[in-house]
Structure 1
Amino acid sequence: MGEFDLIARYFTRPARRNALGVGDDCALLQPGPGMQLAVSTDLLVEGRHFLSTVDPRRLGHKSLAVNLSDLAACGAEPLAFTLALALPAVDEAWLAGFAAGMFALADAHGCELVGGDTTRGPLAINITVFGEVPSGDALLRSGAQPGDDLWVSGTLGDARLALEALRGTVSLPEAVFAAARRRLEEPQPRVALGRALRGVASAAIDISDGLLGDLGHVLQRSAVGASVDAEAAAALLAARTQMALPPEQVNALVLAGGDDYELAFTAPSRLRGAVEAAARASATPVTRIGRIEAEPGLRVLDARGQPLAQRFPGFDHFA
């Protein structure tokens, strides 16, 4: 099978709301009047971002999900995406599974594939996603203010727990491992919550490299500090209720685990009701875990309000 046969069989679909789909030199997008185009790109490399044993359908899902999560953090509506794919060889069963997982998620969010590239090489997947958001309504990292509440969607730490089990550093009951592995390999982008938070949240970011590491980007861009309630954060680990994990391990998983693709966001305390309404409207649980402060720095506090001595570095590819 040649390159263009591969594209035609597995990745060509009719253009719907975009002016031009796969097959030309450029994709042509038509965002609505008064809208801004939101664009994000992510590269996934075998051995760095995913294991060679991952189910191709789940990998197709995750490859798009991590990009949709960026749109969610911006409050944007998905429009389209491009796919650049390096393959060591043509494996039709693998391609069918990968495409099925990717397109199932794409269809769920009305996001269509409009172009890309394929080449031979070590397995790597690069997706660029395009979304639209009303002008002036985008959620940014730079809007957090002293006194704002700090919120997190969903659960945290399960993906890293699954990774540690796959590495053999921890042993998990079968049911716990299956649930955690799904969180690692099939994260659910919080697109509906991001849209619902427009006009409510003051700042937002998606959690890919660990809660505290990503939260640090918000604090830096907003020129503020924050305190995080370690006990409230620890309760976000779903597996915590099924396993007797040491508090230090729970803290590390939740605060620095990464690969969660949940949203961390801030909002004025007077808008707690609006945050809870956005959570209900998007069917997404949210938890208040801290507060934005004028004093620079990030403080993780125990139940007595004392700083934890434990350090929680976020993931860095080149650290």
Structure 2
Amino acid sequence: MSTQRPGEDSLIARFFAPLAAEGGLGLKDDAACLSPTPGHDLVLTTDALVETVHFLPGDPAGTIARKALGVNVSDLAAKGADPKGFLLSLALPEDWTVGWLEAFATGLGEAARDFSCPLLGGDTVKARGALTLSVTAIGEVPAGRMVRRTTARPGDLICVTGTIGDAALGLRLRSSPFWATALSPAERDFLADRYLNPRPRHRLAHAIRDNAHAAMDVSDGLAGDLAKMLRVSGVSGIVETGDVPLSGAARKAVDADPDLLDRVMTGGDDYEILCTVPERNLDRLRKEADTVGIGLSVIGRVVPGSDPPVFRTGGIERRYDVGSFSHF
């Protein structure tokens, strides 16, 4: 197999055109053409990933691709939107290789199929600095049905999917912390994979749309993202820390180093759905989550007020003064 670098047109035809949906026009035009389903609104989201900020040098190319698409599909899921497709902008560093791009395209194609979110178009350029990529994902919801983050109401139950803190601990494992010795190889691999390969909860989008008052995905840490959602909704909340769902691996890590609990509550890259749900809808939402194999936990309740949410452990209450992750 030749390792000679193709030119831009050949690069697009070889690696990305096979991934394109019909609306991408074979990636032979300057734009895609997408017709929303009649009676639906489009939902658009975009995220950029930069080497050393969102992933580390040496991370597998396929996992970088999967993460780039997954974090955007996660945003769509929290809005109750079904994926329709995505645009990719890729700035390759000067030392890129054909082998790296093959692995990236393979991972991207697998993610697009898994998330039912095909490629529509994009741009590929050369960067003089770090590898940088940006995905814009497009979804749709029935008109007027997008789930906002600004509409949590007092009395709502605070719910979260999956487990919290795995990705943050998976990243921390790279520094060989002492608590890692308490975990089995399989548990360490599980945490590492949760950091590298987000699991967007797109199969729960319909249920979120039908049952939640407010929702967002947990990308920048549970404590900070919950505070953000409640603040813009004009309310506060109480969380029972013991009800926050932890995987077996995360639980063993926290048992070995109790200080890790703060990392679990504030660490990012979970890409679970955080939502507020009227109590009357809980059983229906939980049943639908069970149907698609996604865990759902009630961790607290929305209350009136303007203070950051309280995290309660037994008789001890605390508010995290660390906000969600910010680039600036």
With the length of structure 2 as denominator, give the TM-score of the two structures.
0.91
Q: Deviation of residue 14 (structure 1)?
A: 6.8
In the TM superposition, what are the counterparts of 1:222-241 in structure 2 within 5 Å? Answer: 222-233=233-244, 235-241=245-251
Are 2:306 and 1:268 equivalent residues in the alignment?
no
CA offsets, 1:186-232, max 9 Å, x none?
01100111222212000000011001111122112211111111111
User: Where does residue 287 of structure 2 map in the other structure?
Assistant: 277
In terms of fraction of residues, the more helix-rich structure is 2
Q: Is the 8 A contact 1:23 1:115 kept in 2?
A: no
> What amino acid maps onto 2:234 in structure 1?
A
Select the residue among 289, 304, 328 that pairs with 1:294.
304
CA contact under 8 A between 1:82 and 1:113: conserved in structure 2? yes
Counterpart in 2 of 1:75?
80
Instruction: Tell me the equivalent position of 1:12.
Output: 17
Report the secondary structure of 1:288's partner residue.
strand
1:118 to 124, 140, 162: 124
* Alpha-carbon shift at residue 312 of structure 1 (Å): 4.3
Matches within 5 A, 1:165-184: 165-172=173-180, 173=183, 174-184=185-195
CA distance in 1, matches of 2:198, 2:10: 31
Superposed CA offset, 1:77-96 (max 9, x none): 11111111111134111111
Residue deviations 1:8-45 (CA, integer Å, cap 9, x gap)? 11001375453735221211111100001111111000
Q: What corresponds to 2:171 in structure 1? A: 163
Match of 2:161 in 1: 153
User: Any unmatched runs of 5+ in structure 1?
Assistant: none
1:190 partner amino acid = R
Aligned counterpart, 2:218: 207
- Matching of residue 253 in structure 1 with residue 258 in structure 2: no
Measure how far apart 1:308 and its partner are.
2.6
How far apart, in 2, do the equivalents of 1:200 and 1:266 lie? Answer: 9
- Report whether the alignment pairs 1:198 with 2:209: yes
Whole-angstrom CA distance in 1 between matches of 2:154 and 2:29: 49
Q: Which deviates more, 49-58 or 85-94?
A: 85-94
Q: Any conservation in 2 of the 1:39–1:130 contact (CA below 8 Å)?
A: yes
Helix, strand or coil: the match of 1:78? strand
- The alpha carbon displacement at 1:309 in A equals 6.6
Given the alignment of the two structures, is residue 103 of structure 1 paired with residue 109 of structure 2, yes or no?
yes
- Mapped partners of 2:87, 2:24: distance in 1: 14
Q: Deviations over 1:225-273 (max 9, x none)?
A: 111111112x4244234343333312x1221011000010000112221
1:85 to 84, 90, 96: 90
Q: Does 1:134 align with 2:139?
A: no
Counterparts of 2:114 and 2:122, CA distance in 1: 21
Q: CA deviation at 1:156?
A: 0.9
CA 1:310–1:262 in structure 2 vs 1: closer, same or farther (change >3 Å)? closer
* 1:21/1:28 contact within 8 Å kept: no
| CA RMSD across the alignment | 1.7
Q: In the alignment, residue 324 of structure 2 is paired with which amino acid? A: G
Q: Show structure 2 runs of 5+ residues with no match.
A: 1-5
2:322 & 2:257 partners in 1: Cα distance?
15
Query: How far apart in 2 are the matches of 1:175 and 1:108?
Result: 24
Q: Residues 217 and 20 of structure 1: is their aligned pair in 2 closer, same or farther, counting only changes over 3 Å?
A: farther
SS in 2 for 1:242: helix
3-state DSSP of counterpart to 1:206: strand
2:326 counterpart of 1:316: yes
Give 2:63's aligned amino acid.
Answer: R
2:30 counterpart (25, 42, 45)? 25
Pair 125,310 (structure 1): closer, same or farther in 2 beyond 3 Å: closer
Contact preservation (8 Å) 2:40, 2:143:
yes
Say whether 1:45 aligns with 2:50: yes
Q: Which amino acid aligns with 1:195?
A: H
- Contact 2:49–2:68 (Cα < 8 Å) also in 1: yes
CA contact (8 A) 1:156 1:238 kept: no
Secondary structure of 1:258 counterpart: coil
